[in-house]
Amino acid sequence: MFCRSDRWMVILAILTLTIVICPNVHWVFATNKPPPDPCFLINNTLSITAFLNPDGPLGAQESVTIPLRRIGKLFLVEAKIDDESGNFIFDSGSANLVLNKTYFRKYMTIEGDPAGGVTGSTGAIGRVKVKRLKIGDLGFDNLMADVTNLGHIENRRGVKILGLFGFSLLKGLEVVIDINNNVMHLYRLDRYGNRIQSSNPVKYDVIQKVEEFHNILIVKARVGEKILDFCLDTGAESNVLNAFSPKKVLSTVSIQRRSGVVGVGSGRSEVLYGIMNEFTVGSRSIPGMQTIITSLEKMSEAYGIALDGMLGYDFFSQGEICINMVRNEMRIRFTRKETP
C-alpha cells in the first residue's frame, strides 16, 4: 500500500476498543487475583472510511522507533493533530483514526453510523477531515476520522486523550511491539515483505500467519482441543473469550469471579473473570493468562466475522511481537519463561 503512486486509496474499516478499567491501575491483572469492584469494560465498535496517503507515513526513512507510555495496561504515544497536541492510545484493534470530541468540536462534522459494542449501541458518531497528524516521526495528511466522546477514558485515567489509532495507519510496514520495553519499531518493507533496512536477524519462537479482515488482524490459536479465531488488540487490558464458545473451551478457564460491566453507552452486561489454562499459539503453550468471558455477538456482527476472542495486554506482554503487514505474518520472541 505504501508504494509510490499518485492515487489516494479508500479503505472501509472497523474499529474496536476494549478496555478494562479499575480504580487501582497499578496492579490490575498483575497477578491471578481479579480486580476489585467497580470494574468497567469499554468495548466500542465504529465504522470508519479513511483516506491513506500511498506514499506512506515514514517519508524517506527506512525505520522509526516510537516510545510507548504506559498508563495501567494502556499504551499511549505523543501526537499532534493540526494544532492540538496530546496522547493517542495505540489500539491495534482500531481500524483507523478516532478523535476525542472534546478537542475537535470546531471541526465540521458529518453524522456517521451508530457505534456498538458488547453492551449495545452508543449512538451516532461524527466524521471529520484533519489536515495533518504527526505521531513521533510519522506523518499523515488529509485523514478522515470518526469523532466520539472519549471523556470516560480521560476521567478514569487522569490523562489527556486525543484519540485512538491502530494498524491500518501502518499498512505496508513491519511493526515490532515490545511493550515490556515500552517501544514500538516500524520498518519499511519492499514488495515482498522484506525490510529495506539491513538488520541483524532475530530468532523467533513462533511464526504464524494472520488474516486481515476489515482492517483487523485475526490469528488462530488453540484452546483445549479447539482452534479459535482471536483478533489482536493492544487496546484490550485483558484477553477476552466469547461466552458462546464450546463448553470444552470454557471448561479450560478457571473462573474466579463474576462482575457487572459498564460500556461506553448506558448499557450494562455481566462478565466472568478467569485464567486461561490451555492456550496454545503455534507450538507454544501460554498458560496463566487473565481473560474475561463475555458475549462477542455485537462485535462479530459489526466485523462481519465470528470472533472467538480477543488477545490483549496479557498476550502482548509475553515478549516481542512482530507483525509483517505485507506478508500477513506474526512472529513472537518470548521473553517470559515457558511453564512446563
Please write the tens of the pLDDT for every residue from 277-314.
999 999 999 999 999 999 998 888 877 889 999 999 99
Q: Output the pTM of the full model.
A: 0.77
Pick from 157, 152, 173: nearest CA to 58: 173
The per-residue pLDDT for range 222-256, each reduced to its tens digit, is 999 999 999 999 988 899 999 999 999 999 999 99
**Average pLDDT across the chain, whole number:** 77
Does residue 34 have a pLDDT over 50? no
Tell me whether residue 261 is in a domain: yes
Task: Give the model's pLDDT for residue 123.
Answer: 45
Q: Which is more confidently placed, 293 or 57?
A: 293
Q: How far apart are CA 94 and CA 113, in angstroms?
A: 16
Q: What is the CATH number of the domain that holds 85?
A: 2.40.70.10
* Under 8 Å between Cβ of 197 and 188: yes
Quote the pLDDT of residue 264. Answer: 41
- Tens-place pLDDT, residues 40-52: 333 333 333 333 3
pLDDT of residue 206: 96
- pLDDT at residue 316 in the model: 96
Looking at the predicted structure, is the pLDDT value of residue 19 above 60?
no
Answer with the one of 138, 156, 188 that is the final residue of a domain.
188
Helices (H), the chain: 151-157, 247-250, 297-303, 313-316
Residues 109, 240: one domain? no
- End-of-domain residue from the set 188, 223, 247: 188
For 182, other C-beta atoms within 10 Å of its C-beta total: 12
- 144 with 63, same domain? yes
C-alpha cell at 294: 463475555
- Report residue 270: phi and psi, to 5°: -120, 140
Longest dimension (CA), the chain: 57
> Which three cell numbers mark 65?
522507533
Specify whether 178 is located in the same domain as 210: no
* CA–centroid distance for 286 within its chain: 20
Q: Is residue 323 part of a domain?
A: yes
61 and 152 share one domain: yes
Instruction: Answer yes or no: is pLDDT of 7 > 50.
Output: no
How many C-beta neighbours within 10 Å does residue 80 have?
Answer: 14
Which amino acid makes up residue 274?
A: G
Set of cell numbers at residue 131: 489536515
Q: Which residue, chain included where needed, has cell 465498535?
A: 45
Residue 145, classed as helix, strand or coil, is: strand
Residue 32 lies in a domain: no
Say if 49 falls within a structural domain: yes
Residues 6+ apart with CB under 8 A from 243: 250, 272, 293, 294, 295, 296
Looking at residue 271, its pLDDT comes to 86
Q: Is 263 exposed, middle or buried (0-12, 13-18, 19+ CB in 10 A)?
A: buried
pLDDT of residue 118: 41
Q: Tell whether 284 is covered by a domain.
A: yes
Q: How many domains does the chain have?
A: 2
Is 263 part of any domain? yes
Residues 300 and 152 in one domain: no
**Does residue 31 carry a pLDDT above 50?**
no
Q: Which domain holds residue 152?
A: 9-25+38-188
Asked which of 137, 153, 188 is the last residue of a domain, the reply is 188
Q: pLDDT value at position 169?
A: 86
Query: In the structure grid, which three cell numbers stand for residue 124, read together?
Result: 451516532
Is the pLDDT score of 119 beyond 50?
Answer: no
* Amino acid identity at 114: P
* Nearest alpha carbon to residue 284 among 310, 321, 234, 255: 321
- What does the pLDDT look like over 263-277, one tens digit per residue? 444 345 678 999 999
User: Is residue 114 one of the residues assigned to a domain?
Assistant: yes
Most confident of 115-124, 226-235, 330-339: 226-235
Q: Is there a single domain that holds both residue 240 and residue 142?
A: no
